[in-house]
Amino acid sequence: MNDLTSKQPLSRSTHGAGSMMDNEKLIAESPDLRTTAKIKRETITAVGVFGLTILLIFLSRFVSPALGGWDQVNTVLVLACFLIVVSFGQGIVILIGGLDLSIPALITLSGVLTASWIGVSGDGSWYLFPLIMVICGGIGAVSGIGIVVLNIPPFIMTMATGIIVASSALGFTGGSPRGGASPLLLGLMKGNVMGIPWIILFILFFCVVGVLIQSRTTFGRRLMAIGSNLNAAVLAGIPTGNYIISAYITSAMSAGFAGFMLVGYANGATLRMGDGYLLSSIAAVVVGGSSILGGRGSFVSTIGGTLLLTTLGLVISALGVPQGWKTVIEGCTILFALLLLREDLISFFSRPKSRK
Amino acid sequence: MAQAPASAEPSAPENGLLRRLFSSGTGVIALIYVVLYVLFALWDHSALTSGTVVNLANNAAPLAIAAAGETMVVLARGFDLSVAGVISLTNVIMAAYPMEGPDGAAISLLICLAVGGMVGLVNGYLVSVLKLQSIAATLATMIICQGLALVILDAPGGTVSDFVADQLTDVVIGVVPVAGLIILVIVAVWLVFQRTAMGIALYTVGSDEVSAQLSGISVSSTRFIGFVSAGMLYGLAGFMLSAQTATGNPNGGASFLMLTFAAVALGGTSLSGGRGSVVGSILGAGTLMLLQKVLFAGGVSSFYTGIFQGTVLVIAVVFGGLITRLSERRGAR
């Protein structure tokens, strides 16, 4: 990653007769700079996405003087926290070459159960929160088992569980969800500690843990191996089935947790509370430079993607643009990010400069 | 899996057509449809009257046409999420700018087809020329179309012209629903298209891109044509939806996203490309809509329709895969 500008000593003696011996000697002596000169693809996308987000926050000062300060960073983090949690799960599933379409249904289910079982009183929180997580995890396991054992494509399996879960949530509430948020959830989403909102501390902690899980643990490395080449992963002795199922469990539990957070934020549940998170989670992962075919991507860039999309949404709202144009601009941003992240552009930046 | 048609055909002298139907999944879905209809007829005695049939055809037509379009993309190993955006957009155009009379309807239809075709052109360019991943690229175009729909009509409302709303949901020659006739035309066009060089190229690109390229098929132009024809079919689906609902809804297409893919998968089309047919997808769409009627007739609360839709989807895919594997094994012997 360093030594970008250093020239190989080769160029000094390419002219003149009798330099053959010199050349060979020099080649033998010259250090191999090829690996050090290459910038990792993940680094480029992460820097790009975060850079764009910061630029956007600075530029937003021109839109409205109220924007562009720490307050706005605060708002962005609070608004992005749901998407960060959901995109962690979606990112892990996309990493293994799958796709989780059941996320909105799981967010809704978790939200509806939280609001009605735990409710405003918060009685029984100590066993009901874990129980709801287990239910969500169990649904994720069903998706995973269907994909691994029954060999159903992920797209279809998670769509089927999504439809079933959404329909069950509808039936459970009879069409009108009741209840509200317990003090614990309200505290997490609205409370402060030493002037810093709890939720921001929590989301920073979540991001660090998420990044470590995805890039530093065996679990994360093996998921990446499965995504880049399933057959090779099988031959390498990875119990691929278990890992794939746990990826879907992780995604389902992330969605379930986002459900808790949304109930705390909105002090209640609705049957459509998860709807916006399917496409935006895929968008965040894709804008973060992950390949939708799996095997490539990092949670750092995905976090960048969620922040970029959230900031953009805020800035456009501040411009007072009608909802329709706002949506059009969001779509164009995704397209723009995709075009910037194209293979040939990335390889232009990451190719070893010293051998040009 | 992609070799199913190739290995099933040579060994099919006895009951070739039947086995080919089943190994492509079209037979499975046709069987499911018939069984469901029998159940429907047992529970609801009006099931066999022409009114019910017309109603079913009208309800299923937009989804069936959208699923037919999606199949064109899925067969060439792609995904097209723009279906939801195009349906919303065309529906809103129909409601915001109604044009009376048969001429008006024809112009509206042309506009819908043009809008869909244009979105298809953009998708095709992004995917086959710029080499973007199809899910990601069409996600972006879908969001843009949804936004444009909101720009044209920011809340549900507007009225579709009476001619379109009345004539297209009516019957011709006393019994045949217009919507059913349109679907039959699409099936007929598909059956011809399937056998043209273009149709075969679509399957080949879907099952093995490299060998398609090596055998002289232009992969990018095949995908391009797939996306454009899919877009035009979504436009037609939006047109038919407008005829059915007679009003505009900027989010009207959103519910089509999942259902379209469900219909395609139910119809036995492999989501990894190269296997399946438009006919299967149309039957898949019909089954999803019929299921709602059957459950209603059976007294199941409409809340729980999704549980059955999801279960049927899983069963159909598992069953379809099983039959493919069986026929492959027999074909190999």
Q: Nearest by CB to B144, from A174, A332, A342: name it.
A: A332
- pLDDT score, position A313: 85
Rounded to a whole number of angstroms, the distance from the CA of B147 to the nearest CA of chain A is 4
- Put simply, the answer to whether B310 touches A99 (Cβ < 8 Å) is no
User: Which residue matches tokens 């040579």?
Assistant: B10
Which residues on A lie below 8 Å from B138 (Cβ)?
Answer: none
User: Which residue matches tokens 């996306």?
Assistant: B227
Q: Which residues form the domain of B24?
A: 4-332
CATH of the domain at B107: 1.10.3470
Q: Which chain A residue has the Cα nearest residue B272?
A: A153
pLDDT at A17 over 60: no
Measured over the CA atoms of residue B71, residue B73, residue B74 and residue B79, the dihedral's sign is negative
Alpha carbons B53 and B276: distance in angstroms, whole number: 26
Q: CB of B266 within 8 A of CB of B284? A: yes
**Which H helix or E strand runs over A268?**
none
Which residues on B lie below 8 Å from A327 (Cβ)?
Answer: 143-144, 146-147, 150
- Put simply, the answer to whether B147 touches A330 (Cβ < 8 Å) is yes
Domain count within chain B: 1
CA B187 to chain CA centroid, Å, is: 11
- Give A 168-187 residues with CB within 8 A of chain B: 168, 170-171, 174-175
pLDDT higher at B228 or A14:
B228
Which residues on B lie below 8 Å from A152 (Cβ)?
Answer: 314, 317-318, 321
> Encoding tokens for residue B306?
């999704």
Interface ipTM above 0.85: no
- Please enumerate in sequence order all residues whose Cβ is within 8 A of that of A145, keeping only pairs 6 or more positions apart, or say none: A245
- pLDDT score, position B112: 94
Given this structure, which CATH class describes domain A40-355?
mainly alpha
A24-51 pLDDT tens trace: 666 666 665 555 445 677 788 888 888 8
Q: Nearest by CB to B313, from A150, A160, A293: name it.
A: A160
| Mutation for testing the A interface, residue in B313, B318, B322 having most A CBs under 10 Å | B313
Determine the residue type at B304: Y
Burial A296-335 (b: 16+ CB within 10 A, else e): bbbbbbbbbbbbbbbbbbbbbeeeeeeebebbbbbbebbb
Q: CB of A199 within 8 A of CB of A284? A: no
pLDDT in tens, chain B (333 residues): 344 444 434 433 445 666 666 666 688 888 888 988 888 888 887 777 878 888 888 889 999 999 999 999 999 888 899 999 999 999 999 998 888 888 888 999 999 999 999 999 999 999 988 888 888 889 899 999 999 999 999 888 888 888 888 777 777 776 778 888 899 999 999 999 988 988 899 898 888 888 888 888 888 899 999 999 999 999 999 999 998 888 889 888 888 888 898 899 888 888 777 888 899 999 999 999 998 888 888 888 888 888 988 888 888 788 777 776 776 666 554
- For chain B, say whether A134 makes contact (Cβ under 8 Å): no
- pLDDT score, position A247: 95
At residue B135, the 3 state secondary structure works out as helix
Main-chain dihedrals φ then ψ at residue B247, nearest 5 degrees: -145, 170
pTM of the predicted structure, to 2 decimals? 0.82
- pLDDT score, position B192: 92
- Put simply, the answer to whether B314 touches A163 (Cβ < 8 Å) is no
Which residues on B lie below 8 Å from A167 (Cβ)?
Answer: 303-307, 309-310
Query: What residue spans in chain A does CATH classification 1.10.3470 cover?
Result: 40-355
How far, in Å, are A16, A97, A215, A238 from residue A222 at the CA level? 53, 13, 10, 7
Burial B125-157 (b: 16+ CB within 10 A, else e): bbbbeeebbbbbbbbbbbbbbbbbbbbbbeeee
Alpha carbons B234 and B88: distance in angstroms, whole number: 10
Which residues on B lie below 8 Å from A332 (Cβ)?
Answer: 140, 144
